[in-house]
Chains A and B, each alone.
Chain A
Amino acid sequence: MCPLLKGFFGTTKFKILVALMAVIIGVMIYSLTKGGYSSDSESVFGIVLEPFQKISNNISEKVTSTLDMLFNAKKYYEENQQLKDTLNEVYNDIIDYDKLARENEQYRVLFGLTEEHEDYVFSAPCNVIARAANDPYHSFTIDKGSQDGIAPYDPVVTSAGLVGVCYDVSRSTSRVRTLYSPRTAVGVTILRSKATGIIEGDYEYSEQGYCRMSYISDTADIKEGDIVVTSGSETFPASQLVGTVKEVGMDDSGLSKYAVIEPAIDPDDVSTVFVITSFNGQAGSSDT
């Protein structure tokens, strides 16, 4: 070995580097034992980077929306025309809906049903401040964390339905794993036929913006266009919209069916979400 090179390994600077490496390894091991929460060092890192992330995300969103307007003006014009037609249809539907709503209200009173989802406790609106670089499962970071009452495995929703689940929760930020991830398994039900299954992410489907519903009974009544909602578990509350059935097929084993689901929410388009911090039946809650 070159004497100069050998000399470097004996210097104090090299010892400092070894110590730095030991500290990082310690932090990594500590982080792995935190069970979904970020370690303090990660939180410190997150706090330092959070303002950068917020500013950069604002800039990025403005640039993206401006470019989007410039490049897709024709597409939006056509969409606008279609939406006007749809709106007219919706007005007609509203008239029918109003009649049904009044009937429904009477039934509610009749059966003494409580207001839907009144057991839910929502976090304050959470802004998406960063998207994981090159993650095929589209995970992202939100600007609320444990100080806002968020815990690992809390479900993340928007008004349009379920987005995913929180993990790696630090004091002021949380990461969100979407339905595209194979680690997010959600028990679901087909609204029309009550057929059940489990939604699991899969790389091939996530590339096309879909996920897979597995473990459906081979006799289950399920067809394209069916609405899929959560069936309720310790992690996810019941009746949250997940998406619609795009395609149905038989598993390779021939014992069960599978369905390709188009999620109601595309994580790419999400900028604000809500976290359900508590609901009846949640793991660890007093109602469980």
Chain B
Amino acid sequence: MNIDLKRKKERRNVFLRWAIYMLLLAAEYVYMTTTPFHWRSLLLVIPTAMCVAAFEEPFDSAVCGCIAGLLLDTAQGTLIGLSGIILLWCCLVTSLLFHFYMRKHIVNIIMLNGAAVLIQGIIHYFFYYAIWGYDPSAGIFINEFLPVMIFTEIAAVPFFYIIKFLVKHLGMINENYIEERSDDIVRE
């Protein structure tokens, strides 16, 4: 394939891939803000950002995590930036770990996503309920936070495969060249 054409196609793939990530985050934001109060709304932007971090570059992952966190802050009505910072660091660390130390395996992403969900949940609970003394018997944490955290954790599984599929089909173009042995080459 022509090298210019290949680069053009790769750029298009990158653009498409990130456009899909952003649309996915926007759709999840819509889902989070329109769920009736008597239903639990899963914090789907967390597994999405974490799965993106598993496959993308650290810097891109961190920015994606930050956007996801800001959307989460707006959806939950928390101070803008609180989850933004948490997810920025979680995605950055996840991306670095997957780049240098870990295999891109579902078990690894489940563990790291669990850690991110737990950190975000505990910080949210601490600053908005625990320190104000609204939940002395931890009822809010057990009945509201814990189920959401567990189901958000489970949601990482489909998102891992969705992102993996996207990266596979809209990723770098690998060309395999078959070199044929030739006896005509004259070596000096």
> Chain A: residues with CB nearer than 8 A to chain B?
2, 4-5, 8, 13-14, 16-17, 20-21, 24-25, 27-28, 31-32, 39, 41-42, 45-46, 49, 52-53, 56-57, 59-60, 64, 130-136, 138-139, 141, 168, 175, 182, 203-204, 207, 267-268
Contact = CB atoms under 8 A, between A and B. Distances in A.
Contacts of A21: 85, 88-89
A8 B96 contact: yes
Contact of B38 (A28, A57, A203, A268): A268
B123 to A, nearest CB: 13
A106 to B, nearest CB: 46
B100 A5 contact: yes
A203 B140 contact: yes
Contact of A268 (B37, B41, B58, B84): B37
B88 A27 contact: no
A53 B33 contact: yes
A24, A141, A168 — which one has the most chain B CB atoms within 10 A of its CB? A24
B2 interface: no
B101 A2 contact: yes
Contacts of A52: 26, 29-30
B33 A24 contact: no
A162 B92 CA distance: 46
Contact of B92 (A2, A17, A57): A17
Nearest to B34: A60
Contact of A5 (B89, B96, B134, B143): B96
B47 to A, nearest CB: 15
A136 B144 contact: yes
A5 B26 CA distance: 32
Contacts of B26: 52
**How would you classify the secondary structure of chain A's contact residues: helix, strand, loop or mixed?**
helix
Contacts of B100: 2, 4-5
User: Interface SS of chain B: helix, strand, loop or mixed?
Assistant: helix
Contacts of B35: 131, 133
A73 B96 CA distance: 54
B81 A203 contact: no
B112 interface: no
Contacts of B145: 134
A287 to B, nearest CB: 32
A11 B71 CA distance: 27
B65 to A, nearest CB: 10
18 contacts: A5-B100, A13-B58, A13-B59, A14-B59, A17-B88, A20-B66, A42-B80, A45-B80, A52-B26, A53-B30, A56-B34, A59-B34, A130-B75, A133-B35, A133-B76, A134-B148, A136-B140, A141-B77
Contacts of A136: 140, 144
Contact of B80 (A14, A31, A133): A31
Given A52-B30, A60-B34, A134 B79 contact: no
Contacts of B40: 134
Interface in B51-86: 58-59, 62-63, 66, 70-71, 74-77, 79-82, 84-85
A45 B59 contact: no
A141 B62 CA distance: 28
A32 B82 CA distance: 12
A207 B35 CA distance: 16
Nearest to A129: B33
Contact of B143 (A53, A182, A207, A267): A207
Contact of B37 (A41, A64, A138): A138
Contacts of A207: 143
A203 B144 CA distance: 10
B32 interface: yes
A20 B140 contact: no
Most-contacted residue by chain A among B29, B33, B41, B85 (CB, 10 A): B33
Contacts of A141: 33, 77
A134 B139 contact: no
A193 B137 CA distance: 35
